[in-house]
Structure 1
Amino acid sequence: MSSKKLFIIRHAKAEIPIWEKKDFDRNIMDKGAARAQHIANKLKDIVTIDEKTAVLSSTANRAIQTAHIFCTSLAFPLQNILQTKAIYEAYYLDILNIINQMPAHIDTLLVFGHNPGLSDLTNYICNSYIELKTSHCAVINLEDGIDFASLSGGTATLVQTITE
């Protein structure tokens, strides 16, 4: 049995918050989109997209826009992105709880969301200490015998962080 892979991706650089616009509605900037595209292109070399792949995204504009850039680059159907507001401003254990509900046949999962939740989640499951910047992708292998349902603290390994 091949080990399962998790890709945790922080949304691309977003426009500066302004009073007139809800944080949830902020869009990514051109600079952020370009960086997301660059990192998505690097990810193409290490991720296999097939029927055992799932993509999960926060419904906040900047997260779903980032997911669209990555999924277009990776040839993952945009209509198959699972969207949930529960990832937005979520505590890392709440994000983990969502991941734990992934079906058993899923081998590869990409999660698009926000800090501090994503960095905290990565550090919790991998016993690591990283801070994901915008568009950065943590590449994580689950330990043998661990599936998404049983993923918990210290049961995965941070393989690399794709940053540029």
Structure 2
Amino acid sequence: MKTLTLLRHAKSGWDDPVARDYDRPLNGKGKRAAAMVGRHMRSLALDFDHVVASPAVRVVETLDEIVAGYGRTLAPVWDRRVYLASSATLLDIVHGLPAEVERALLVGHNPGLEDLVLMLVPDAVDALRDAVEQKYPTASLAELQFETDDWGDVATGRARFTRFVRPRDLDPTLGPDAD
């Protein structure tokens, strides 16, 4: 069995005067949310054999905060293809994961991550899928499992959706209606 965990970067600062979207940093709320999600990952004893991440500043900073809460080094492979990637590109990246990897973490951006979840999880009555369809908020974590030994077999409608964690589920002040 293969487990794919998808993490969207934390909330970034739109009012930060950067020249490129790629260079946009996290804001204070994003830093708090990422650290909280990292602590939650530690409490769940989540473990990853391989991490692939967008090299955008907001993803790098998200992972710094996740690691602070998680208490473990993640050592990502920085892959520029993840930056603002479509679900099809993200699926290509998943198909290319090393065969020996059982539990992978992919850290990136929307709408690609949300679209990937909706592509891989069967379109059926499922509270987790419905929540993602409504919104895949920043710093949210989605875990998908596949009954296969080959990442190349990961395909549309084949995932079992096992976990969806939003920062507001952990701390309501990190929800959309809070500062």
Show the counterpart of 1:31: 29
Q: Is the 8 A contact 1:10 1:112 kept in 2?
A: yes
- Counterpart residue type for residue 97 of structure 1: D
- After TM superposition, the structure 1 = structure 2 runs for residues 15-164 of structure 1, keeping only pairs within 5 Å, are 15-16=13-14, 20-49=18-47, 53-78=49-74, 80-127=75-122, 128-129=129-130, 130=132, 131-142=135-146, 144-163=147-166, 164=170
Show the counterpart of 2:177: none
Q: How far is 1:134 from its partner?
A: 0.4
Give the 3 Å change call, closer, same or farther, for CA 75–19 of structure 1 in structure 2. Answer: closer
Once residues 113 and 40 of structure 2 are traced to their aligned partners in structure 1, the CA distance between those partners, rounded to angstroms, is 20
Deviations 1:30-66 (A, max 9, x none): 110101111111122334436xx11111011001211
Once residues 117 and 27 of structure 1 are traced to their aligned partners in structure 2, the CA distance between those partners, rounded to angstroms, is 20
Q: How far is 1:89 from its partner?
A: 1.4
- What RMSD, in angstroms, separates the aligned Cα atoms of the two structures? 1.9
Using the size of structure 2 for normalisation, the TM-score is 0.80
Give the 3 Å change call, closer, same or farther, for CA 99–151 of structure 1 in structure 2. Answer: same
The 3-state SS of whatever aligns with 2:35 is helix
Higher helix share: 2
Q: How far is 1:141 from its partner?
A: 1.4
Once residues 19 and 98 of structure 1 are traced to their aligned partners in structure 2, the CA distance between those partners, rounded to angstroms, is 32
Once residues 120 and 68 of structure 1 are traced to their aligned partners in structure 2, the CA distance between those partners, rounded to angstroms, is 25
Once residues 115 and 46 of structure 2 are traced to their aligned partners in structure 1, the CA distance between those partners, rounded to angstroms, is 26
Give the 3 Å change call, closer, same or farther, for CA 124–146 of structure 1 in structure 2. Answer: farther
* Identical counterparts, % of pairs: 24
Using the size of structure 1 for normalisation, the TM-score is 0.87
Unpaired runs of 5+ in structure 2? 123-128, 171-179
Once residues 72 and 150 of structure 2 are traced to their aligned partners in structure 1, the CA distance between those partners, rounded to angstroms, is 22
Q: Please identify, of 31-40 and 127-136, the stretch whose mean Cα deviation from structure 2 is larger.
A: 127-136
Number of positions where the alignment pairs a residue of Structure 1 with one of Structure 2: 158
4+ residue segments displaced more than 4 Å: 17-20
Relative CO higher for 1 or 2, CA cutoff 8 Å, sep ≥ 6?
1
Q: How far is 1:12 from its partner?
A: 0.4
Q: Is the 8 A contact 2:54 2:78 kept in 1?
A: yes
